[in-house]
Amino acid sequence: MNLQFPEKFWWGAATSGPQTEGRFKKQHDNVFDYDFDHFQERFWGAIGPDTASNFFNDFRDDIELMKAAGLNSVRTSIQWSRLIDDLELGTLNEKAVEFYNAVIDEFLAHGIRPVINLHHFDLPVELLHKYGGWESRYVVDLYADFAGKCFELFSDRVSDWFTFNEPMVVVECGYLLGFHYPDVVDGKRAVQVAYHLQLASSLAIKKFRTINQNPAGQIGIILNLTPAYPASSHHADVFAAEMADLWQNRLFLDASVKGEFPSVLTEMLSAENALWKANDEDLSVIRQYKIDVLGVNYYHPSRVQEPEFSSDSLAQDFRPDKFYASYNKRGVRMNADRGWEIHPQTIYEIAKRIQNDYENLPWFISENGMGVANEQRFADNDGVIQDDYRIQFTTEHLYWLHKAISEGANCFGYHVWTPIDCWSWRNSYKNRYGLIALDIHTQVKTLKKSAHWFKSLSTAGVLEV
Ligand code: BGP
């Protein structure tokens, strides 16, 4: 069966500055640079952000390879910690301006649409140590100024902007689960961080509305969305799923698309005496400055059940995630290397929800991909990785996306995570996601089988299933 995708579909891939550029000539350390310098053992293989695919120096060759993989659009990010010289005065690092200008021009010269994100987990660490990072209202303003600088400098050529990648990961991993620096576990602080991230996004959009120079310009946010599937139809599990949905999906989605946080959520937070501190002026910015487009990162579904409350846990301080417990369902398909369930049909359900509950807003899949360990074991005699599992994974997700589009979903693109194997936070290089393989010792980059497949797919705009 041949499935035809819409004309002008974005066939692309996503990456980010901190995961590819390396630390060369950067003005400031971000939270991950700092974390690695102080706690190397927490990173897979003790490999940190210095060991990058060297995009800072090799971007011309890398973009050539991306073209060879058939990408017509690529998302990367501008690093706040690189672009801005004095973080509080907002002065520019001219070398960084030169670099990002050259990158954007190189993409355009190759007929690749540069899609630019402004925050990919990479807060400059000084702002955390000095002011408390995203807990600080002042840092929100500094971020909005940085965003404004990006629009001034690059919006003559860049039309597609995103304010944040996965803000909920910043909240959960940094302030609830102890996975990302600053490793805080504190429900009330997590709630304040979530609110400030939303406000920062809305303030950046406000800047965009006056500074953008591009008539085709549009701005959005990238959210990791998935339905929360209850373990059973029992009331307690269904309630747990509703609470997970409110916190993990609807907080940022409702505020970004509709300008309002879900009232059930704010009432619940108020009842727990845990609602964020906000003022009317800021809330009116959130109401007024909504996104034009949405990016959806989807890797795996969320499965939740009623949490086990003990008298201890009830006595604990408030946590917004205390109303549900995540679990792995037995007997489902898994990507064992990453420990994530594979459930392609979820893409269709996400699409339906945006169509029905979120004004059929234009959106795209901004990340989807399969991370596999030790991929060299699949190399053929010519050294080409035969990643048929990735082709199958992508085909199945695109099948469900196509079905949704044929039923009216307003989806304009699909980005694989990621073009070239990249460094990935605490997991470093454990799981490789790229269409293009990277040897971190020699810096040799080789198209995988999936890159050739992706090129045929994007050229024809037709998926064979
Ligand atoms: C997403 C992030 C990406 C990337 C990806 C894979 O959540 O936006 O930056 O890291 O996950 O992550 P991992 O390598 O941990 O599997």
Atom of ligand 1 nearest to the CA of 15: 9
The reply to whether ligand 1 has any atom less than 6 angstroms from the CB of 429 is: no
d(CA 215, CA 207): 15
Burial of 21 from C-beta contacts in 10 A (0-12 / 13-18 / 19+): buried
- β-strand 334-335 against 218-224: which pairing, if any? unpaired
165 lines ligand 1 (CB under 6 A): yes
Helices within 212-279 (DSSP H only): 235-244, 251-258, 263-271
Tens of pLDDT along the chain (465 residues)? 999 999 999 999 999 999 999 998 898 999 999 999 999 999 999 999 999 999 999 999 999 999 999 999 999 999 999 999 999 999 999 999 999 999 999 999 999 999 999 999 999 999 999 999 999 999 999 999 999 999 999 999 999 999 999 999 999 999 999 999 999 999 999 999 999 999 999 999 999 999 999 999 999 999 999 999 999 999 999 999 999 999 999 999 999 999 999 999 999 999 999 999 999 999 999 999 999 999 999 999 999 999 987 655 555 679 999 999 999 999 999 999 999 999 999 999 999 999 999 999 999 999 999 999 999 999 999 999 999 999 999 999 999 999 999 999 999 999 999 999 999 999 999 999 999 999 999 999 999 999 999 999 999 999 999
Does 417 sit in the ligand 1 pocket, CB within 6 Å? yes
Structure tokens at 175: 């302030």
List the alpha helices (DSSP H) in 272-359. Answer: 280-288, 311-315, 346-357
75 lines ligand 1 (CB under 6 A): no
Residue whose C-alpha is closest to residue 168's, from 229, 113, 224? 224
Task: Give the residue, by CA position, lying nearest to ligand 1 atom 9.
Answer: 424
State residue 315's pLDDT score: 55
Amino acid 309: pLDDT: 73
Q: Taking the CA of residue 173 as centre, how many other CA atoms within 13 Å lie in the half-sphere pointing to its CB?
A: 13
Task: Find the Cα–Cα–Cα–Cα dihedral 413, 416, 420, 423, rounded to 10°.
Answer: 120
- DSSP structural state of residue 116: E
Beta bridge partners of 285: none
What's the predicted TM-score (pTM) here?
Answer: 0.97
Domain count, the chain: 1
Mutate to test the pocket of ligand 1, among 120, 162, 248, 367 (most ligand atoms within 8 A of CB): 367
Distance 260 CA to ligand 1 centre (A): 28
422 torsion bin: left (phi>0), alpha (psi -120 to 50), beta (else): beta
Which atom of ligand 1 is the closest one to the Cα of 371?
16
Cα 433 off chain centre by: 14
Task: Look up residue 276 and give its DSSP letter.
Answer: P
Ligand 1 in reach of 72 Cβ (< 6 A): no
pLDDT the model gives residue 317? 79
Burial 419-431, CB ≥16 within 10 A → b, else e: bbbbbbbbebbbb
The response to whether residue 366 sits with its C-beta less than 6 Å from ligand 1 reads: no
Note down the domain range covering 185.
Answer: 2-464
Q: What is the pLDDT of residue 251?
A: 98
Beta bridge partners of 220: 162, 293
Q: Is residue 461 classed as helix, strand or coil in its secondary structure?
A: coil
Kindly list the catalytic residues: 166, 367
- Best residue for ligand 1 mutational test, from 162, 421, 425 (most atoms within 8 Å of Cβ): 425
Is residue 151 within 8 Å of residue 61, measured between CB atoms? no
Q: How far is the CA of 424 from the centre of ligand 1 (A)?
A: 6
Among 118, 157, 32, 75, CA closest to 368: 75
Task: Tell me if residue 387 falls in helix, strand or coil.
Answer: coil
CA–CA gap between residue 202 and residue 289 (Å, rounded): 5
Chain-centroid distance of CA 331 in Å reads 28
Please, what is the Cα angle at 361 between 239 and 260, to 5 degrees? Answer: 55
Residue 413, domain CATH: 3.20.20.80
* CA 391 to centroid of ligand 1, rounded, Å: 19
